[in-house]
Amino acid sequence: MRETNLNREDMVDRQIRSRGISDAAVLAAMLKVPRDLFVPIESRHHAYEDRPLPIGFGQTISQPYVVALMCEALKIEARSRVLDIGTGSGYAAAVMAEMGAKVIGVERKSELEEFAKTNLIRAGYPTVEIHRGDGTLGYPQAAPFDAIMVAAGSPALPSTLKNQLMIGGRLVIPIGPSRHHQHLLRITRQSETDFSSETLGDVTFVPLIGEEGWNDTS
C-alpha cells in the first residue's frame, strides 16, 4: 500500500508534472487512482511505469502522461458530464470520476467492458456507467456532453461525436492516416455550427474500429 503510494507520487512528479501538466485536479486524481488495479495481475509491478501496458485482446491501457494530457485538455470539472470512448481497463474513466465528473463509457469488446466494470468497482468508482457498443456513434441517449475522450485512433473526425458536444464542450481524439500513429486533437464546439481545432502533439493509440472509424480486419 505504502509502496504503491510512493510509486504514484513518483509517477506524478517525474512523468506528469515535470512535463508541464499543471491542472491541480488532474494531478490530485492521478495521485489517488490505483493504476495497479487496472492492469492484468501479471503486470502489476509495471503499473507505474512511463508507458502503455497490454490489457489483453490486442489493447492497451494508455501511458499515464497521455491520460493526464487528455484530462487537462478536456478541462474536466466536478459534475462535468463526460463520455469516455474506448474504456479499455477503465483507468482513464476512473481518473475523470475521481475529478468529480459523471462518466459514461463505451467499449467495443465485451471482455474489456467486463474488465473495466470489475476494475472500477474494486477501485471504488461504482458510479461510472459502462456500455458495450460502437463508440464512433457516441452515446446519443445521454448527449450532450461537456467533454468526450476518445482513447483510440481514428482516420477522420467522426461527425456524430462532435455533434454530441454541448456548446463550449471539448472533444479530445487521436486522428491520423495510419492505424498506429496519430495527432492528438482538441475540438471545441464554439456554437451550434462552429468548431475550432488545436493539435496537442503526436501520439500512438490502438485503432478506433467502427462505423465512423477503421474497418475491422481481425
Task: Return residues touching ligand SAH (CB under 6 A).
Answer: 59-62, 85-89, 91-92, 106-109, 112, 134-136, 151-152, 206, 208-210, 213
- Grid coordinates belonging to 9: 507520487
Closest to ligand SAH by CB, 27 vs 104, is 104
**Shortest Cβ distance from residue 61 to ligand SAH (Å)?**
4
Which among 94, 203, 199, 212 has a CA at the least distance from the CA of 163?
Answer: 212
Of the pair 109, 189, the CB lying nearest ligand SAH is at 109
How far from 146 is each of 30, 51, 181, 215, CA to CA, in Å?
A: 21, 28, 27, 28
Contact 112, 176 (CB under 8 A): no
The least CB distance from residue 63 to ligand SAH, in Å, is 10
- Catalytic residue numbers, as ranges: 62
Indicate the residue among 70 and 187 with the shorter CB distance to ligand SAH. 70
Based on the number of CB atoms within 10 Å of its own CB, is 214 exposed (0-12), middle (13-18) or buried (19 or more)? middle
